[in-house]
Amino acid sequence: MRSSAGQIGDGLDVRADGSYVVAPPSRHRSGRAYRWIVLPDHVAELPPIPAWLLQRAVPAKPTVTRSDVSLRTADAHAYAAAAVASEARKVAQAPRGQRNHRLNLAAFRLGQLVGAGLLEEATATAALVDAGMAAGPGERKIRSTVRRGLQAGRRHPRRLLPRDSR
């Protein structure tokens, strides 16, 4: 299961390994403490996730891998440029509550192209930071999200296949 924002329902996020959840007695950046509206029963362990919810939270396996890209060398530049434009547009237009998730996903996808040698990291960074600023989560957070997303994507580069191999 992967972390996601809003995929199983409006305002519902999934947090998987490596993620965090903010709950009492954590402090909000305003300095106020989070508090329980209804105090939880102190149970030894959490109840199991309902099967219907688990089914919605775990995405179906794709039948075609998106990591394989069939391109002629001459097409690579146009493909990368179109990918940058598309991902930047999706970030700039992301709805409130999904902006950082969308930025991270875009950075990961473009990081895959950087890892495959199809795109310069500086180009991807500039486009995503500009798009992120249009969406508005704050420059420091934007740059951090872009950096981490690109790093993760580079670790899973797209594979280039000869066009006639498909």
- Which residues, listed in sequence order, are joined to residue 5 by a DSSP beta bridge? 13
pLDDT at residue 68 is higher than 60:
no
Per-residue pLDDT, averaged over 9-17, amounts to: 75
pLDDT in tens, 26-47: 888 888 888 777 666 665 566 6
Do 47 and 87 sit in the same domain of this protein? no
Longest dimension (CA), the chain: 62
- Across 24-28, 36-40, 137-141, 162-166, the highest mean pLDDT is recorded for 137-141
Angstrom distance (rounded) from CA 141 to CA 145: 6
Containing 128, the helix (H) or strand (E) segment is helix 121-135
Q: 36 and 30 in contact (C-beta within 8 Å)?
A: no
pLDDT in tens, 69-88: 555 555 777 888 999 999 99
Structural domain boundaries, residue 5: 1-61
Burial of residue 101 (CB within 10 Å: 0-12, 13-18, 19+) is middle
Burial of residue 84 (CB within 10 Å: 0-12, 13-18, 19+) is buried
Angstrom distance (rounded) from CA 161 to CA 166: 8
Domain's final residue, options 38, 61, 84: 61
Do 56 and 72 sit in the same domain of this protein? no
Do 11 and 41 sit in the same domain of this protein? yes
